[in-house]
A and B are shown apart, each in its own frame.
Chain A
Amino acid sequence: MSAIPPQPAIEVNHLVKAYAGVTAVNDISFTVPKGQIIGFLGPNGAGKSTTMRILTGYLPATSGQVSICGYQVASEPDAVKRRIGYMPENNPLPEEMRVSEYLYFRGRLKEVARGKLGSRIDEVLELCDLKRVRHKIIGKLSKGFRQRVGIAESVLAEPPVIIMDEPTIGLDPHQILIVRDLIASLRGRMTVLISSHILPEIEMTCDRVLIINQGRIVAEGTPANLRKEVLGQSAYEIEAAGPMGSLPFLLGTIDPGLSVASEGVADEQGFRTIKLKTLNSEDVGEAILRACQSEGMRIRALSRAHPTLEDVFLAATRRSWDAVAENPKSQARP
């Protein structure tokens, strides 16, 4: 057989979804290769949930194409639904059922063979640490358990694509750790698309991040690339004492873009905190240290500030809002 180019797990082309007068998703395109974990970020009402619902075939798109494992969602919904595990926002569960009963029912609906289902249910119960509550009624479980029942259900049939809308909402740090490990353990075997508000979560588990705002993708890439692309600068913080007068000149000799962003007040030992920023992404920490010492300054600490995904997220969404705010003006111009 000739080599077939690897088929992407999720392919979205110019997806548009408009509700009566409101465009929730506006011309989104992205591709997710098999086995990757993708984080889907965005402020409330950005169109995350809508996009996910369209991917699962629950909602029809207004225009555009979506395919899962090569199957078009619009024309082959059954084939698509066999290949996804979906956990909706707020994780709706039937209140009156027992955990194991629910998983059995869902397994049958997802066409897991009857003979395999029992052992598979044991497996996911173990995986999600639910063994203790398997005979409890779902309506009486705490939020954390319910959330894990939803996660267990979505991985139950071992689908190639898993879509989870805010899976870690309402969990305590210990449970978040379990869920994070669980999702990480799926890497390589399954393609996972998760949306979340907890940014460190996404940063730790995801291979790639999509930031969406007002129905458009505003940034896309690995967390590290996003930092560079969206923020475009690095920052240093030094605690130093001694003559400061020649500092700006010194910095200029190291890197022309390097400048003092802010300067704190000196404490009783004469040390003050100075923040530096540069557009250069290379690490110039050592050069700064050497230059300062040659001038007779005493250095107590030097650190390179790491912008978090939070900064990236805020910068990316702000940038897209600015763009939207400018657009009407440019259109109104004669």
Chain B
Amino acid sequence: MKHFLTILSHEVRMLLVSTNTYIAAVAFLSLMGFIFTGILEDYSKAVQDVSPASVFFQLYWLPVFFMVPLLTSKCLAEERRLGTIETLLTTPVTTAEVVLGKYAAAYLLYIAFWGSTSGLFYILKRFAGDARLIDPGPIVGGYLFVAVSGLLFIAIGVFASSLSRNQSVAGILSLTFLVGIILGSRYLGQASWLDREALSPLKDAVEYAQVNQHFQDFTRGVVDTRELLFYVSGTVLALIFSVLAVEAKLLHS
């Protein structure tokens, strides 16, 4: 892991000069700003039961769908398309270092984007003057969920990027995976055919993978280690598959 930091700093710099990053940043911040304003308008009209933070974080999946592909689709696909993977892997770096460096850079930026939304809460605190609106529980839980689930989402994006040398194919592939995990698990959870006795293990597995359920637990302040394990193991698996995909493509190139 000697070269991890070299690759990480290089990748962060590369992301900071990439147009994709700025498209993602502008789209993300304007979307979140609109959502936040909408929430505040509702709150100014009538008193609500839940804190604005939990409503705000409920829409976490919307920015994930475009941010993750924009941040990750380029990372490995572009290296293969340009052929720079050849010069990269003929230096004393391992494939794992390359994949991890790129993954960590994309994750840092993802977290930085989400971190910038804390400005919205700061503004609310500064000008609302109502302590009930700023409930620290859901805010901390929401950010924690974003940080933990981001591990898996970014890893999925990196994996999609390792599968294709075409950036747009990689982007659409990662969008498909993310929709499958976030919306697909919710859809399967509601499917009645899973209620049969014989399929109960499958039903359990689907229950376990309910990203939305995890989200609700986090914002209520329940941090379950099983849920942490779900994201961490998913991340490790996706990254291992990315390393294998890069190496397999070399063998069959």
Contact = CB atoms under 8 A, between A and B. Distances in A.
Interface string B81-110: 011101111111100000000000000000
A94 B14 contact: yes
Contacts of A111: 2, 92
Nearest to B2: A111
A105 B82 contact: no
B10 A95 contact: no
Interface stretch (A83-91, A254-262, A296-304, A324-332): A83-91
B64 to A, nearest CB: 26
Given A94-B14, A96-B17, A105-B10, A58 B90 contact: yes
- Determine which residue in A58, A109, A153 has the highest number of CB atoms from chain B within 10 A of its CB, and name it: A109
A90 B88 CA distance: 15
A92 interface: yes
A98 to B, nearest CB: 10
B90 A81 contact: yes
Given A81-B91, A111-B92, A94 B86 contact: no
Contacts of B17: 96
Interface in B43-73: none
B116 interface: no
Contacts of B92: 78, 81-82, 109-111
B251 interface: yes
B91 A109 contact: yes
Given A78-B92, A86-B90, A94-B14, A109 B6 contact: yes
B3 A59 contact: no
Interface in A65-112: 78, 81-82, 84, 86-88, 90, 92-97, 101, 105-106, 108-111
Contacts of A106: 87, 91
B96 to A, nearest CB: 13
A108 B97 CA distance: 14
Chain A residues touching B, range:
20 to 34
B15 to A, nearest CB: 10
Contact of B91 (A59, A92, A94, A110): A110
A110 B83 CA distance: 18
B251 A60 contact: yes
- Determine which residue in B10, B17, B90, B253 has the highest number of CB atoms from chain A within 10 A of its CB, and name it: B90
Contacts of A101: 13
A92 B86 contact: yes
B6 A95 contact: no
Chain B interface SS verdict (over half): helix
- Determine which residue in B7, B84, B92, B253 has the highest number of CB atoms from chain A within 10 A of its CB, and name it: B92
Contact of A109 (B14, B86, B93, B250): B93
B118 interface: no
Contacts of B253: 59
B118 to A, nearest CB: 30
Contacts of B7: 109
A26 interface: no
Nearest to B10: A105
B233 interface: no
B87 A92 contact: yes
A58 B88 CA distance: 10
A57 interface: yes
Nearest to A55: B90
B243 to A, nearest CB: 15
A214 interface: no
Contacts of A82: 92
B83 A90 contact: yes
Contacts of A87: 87
Nearest to A102: B10
A95 B253 CA distance: 23
B18 interface: yes
B8 to A, nearest CB: 11
Nearest to B98: A109
B90 A94 contact: no
A92 B79 CA distance: 9
Contact of B90 (A57, A60, A93, A95): A57
B251 A92 contact: no
Contacts of B14: 94, 96-97
30 contacts: A58-B89, A58-B90, A59-B250, A78-B92, A81-B90, A81-B91, A81-B92, A82-B92, A84-B90, A86-B87, A88-B90, A90-B83, A92-B83, A92-B84, A93-B82, A94-B14, A94-B82, A95-B82, A96-B17, A96-B18, A105-B6, A106-B87, A108-B3, A109-B3, A109-B6, A109-B88, A109-B91, A109-B92, A110-B91, A111-B92
* Pairs of residues from A and B, 3 with the lowest C-beta to C-beta distance, nearest first: A92-B83, A109-B91, A108-B6
Interface of A: 53, 56-60, 78, 81-82, 84, 86-88, 90, 92-97, 101, 105-106, 108-111, 153
Given A84-B90, A96-B14, A109-B3, 19 more contacts: A56-B90, A58-B250, A59-B253, A81-B90, A86-B90, A87-B87, A88-B86, A88-B87, A88-B90, A92-B84, A96-B17, A96-B18, A105-B6, A105-B10, A109-B6, A109-B88, A109-B91, A109-B92, A110-B92
